[in-house]
Structure 1
Amino acid sequence: MTNPRILVLTTQIPIRWGDMDAYGHVNNTIYFRYMEQARVEFLEQIGCTLTPRGQAPVIINASCTFLIPINYPGVVEVRMFCGHPGRSSVQTHYEIRRQGDDTLYATGDAKIVWMDVATGKSVPIPESMRAALPA
């Protein structure tokens, strides 16, 4: 059985002139920034303090599939989905569109793992965070 994805956040991010590359479209690295912004907004929304001490969420892998180039000007809409959490991790998925356009421009994935900052080892997702994740 597959792990279903549940929509947990939709955010809009302005496309900046500096996001473009020499080909006149948003540089591939910026898509990861768009996904990161959505992820940070979601983690803050569920009460996660993003500090480099104690226990903190980290990304252990990330990917992006570029479907259609995005150009300046405009606003991107990033939809973030979560799978069901495991002991110490949760898989996230992203859909990137232009605001007001249902066309899918890119998709992405990232696995979030909670870790002990001092040891660098994974730890169980804190109960307060787990309660805010899809059941």
Structure 2
Amino acid sequence: MRHTYRCPLRWADMDAYGHVNNVVFLRYLEEARIDFLFRPDKQFKQGSVVARHEIDYKRQLVHRHAPVDIELWVTEIRAASFTLAYEVKDGDQIYVRASTVIVPFDFEAQRPRRITEEEREFLREYTDDGAEKAAEEEAVAA
């Protein structure tokens, strides 16, 4: 299953050419991640930190008033980290594909921690093989 976040575009997001600036996509991914992890029904109560981002820019997103969809899903769950994948898109038109490695963190103790069983169950609900499918589709198109 995937989580979808409807991300509003802001006037300040554009660069001099009227496109959404590449750096702004990091903020979009952050907004989607917060919407996913910190919902009232499920959340990483002890916190988490980002260990790594990877972003592949596929096409320019021209600024407009309508929001853009960000689909997010889990691709890997380890003992003390997990990986999220994203697609920033409109329907079948993909602007960005990205991934983030997240490490659960105990801010009181100031150190990484293991994923709890409750968190693991939540993450499993959003495990999807969409990244593999997307890579296969790109290979066929090339």
TM-score relative to the length of structure 2: 0.78
Does 2:72 correspond to 1:65?
Answer: no
Higher-helix-fraction structure: 2
Query: How many angstroms apart in 1 are the aligned matches of 2:88 and 2:60?
Result: 11
Cα pair 1:59 1:112 within 8 Å, conserved: yes
Cα pair 1:78 1:97 within 8 Å, conserved: yes
Query: How many angstroms apart in 1 are the aligned matches of 2:57 and 2:120?
Result: 31
Listed one character per residue, the Cα deviations across residues 22-78 of structure 1 (whole Å, up to 9, x for unaligned) are 1210011111111111111111132223xxxxx321100112111110011132100
Gaps of 5+ in 2: 126-142
From 25, 32, 44, the equivalent of 1:48 is 44
Query: How many angstroms apart in 1 are the aligned matches of 2:43 and 2:52?
Result: 23
Letter in 1 for 2:102: I
Letter in 2 for 1:95: E
Query: Which residue in the other structure is 2:31 paired with?
Result: 37
CA RMSD of aligned residues (A): 1.6
From 54, 79, 87, the equivalent of 2:79 is 87
Superposed displacement of residue 84, structure 1: 3.4
Cα pair 2:83 2:99 within 8 Å, conserved: yes
Query: How many angstroms apart in 1 are the aligned matches of 2:76 and 2:19?
Result: 34
Cα pair 2:88 2:94 within 8 Å, conserved: yes
Does 2:124 correspond to 1:128?
Answer: no
Query: Which residue in the other structure is 1:75 paired with?
Result: 67
From 112, 115, 118, the equivalent of 2:102 is 112
Q: Secondary structure at the match of 1:83?
A: strand
Query: Which residue in the other structure is 2:133 paired with?
Result: none
Identical amino acids, percent of aligned pairs? 30
Superposed displacement of residue 119, structure 1: 4.3
Task: Give the count of matched residue pairs.
Answer: 122
Superposed displacement of residue 116, structure 1: 2.2
Query: How many angstroms apart in 2 are the aligned matches of 1:84 and 1:107?
Result: 16
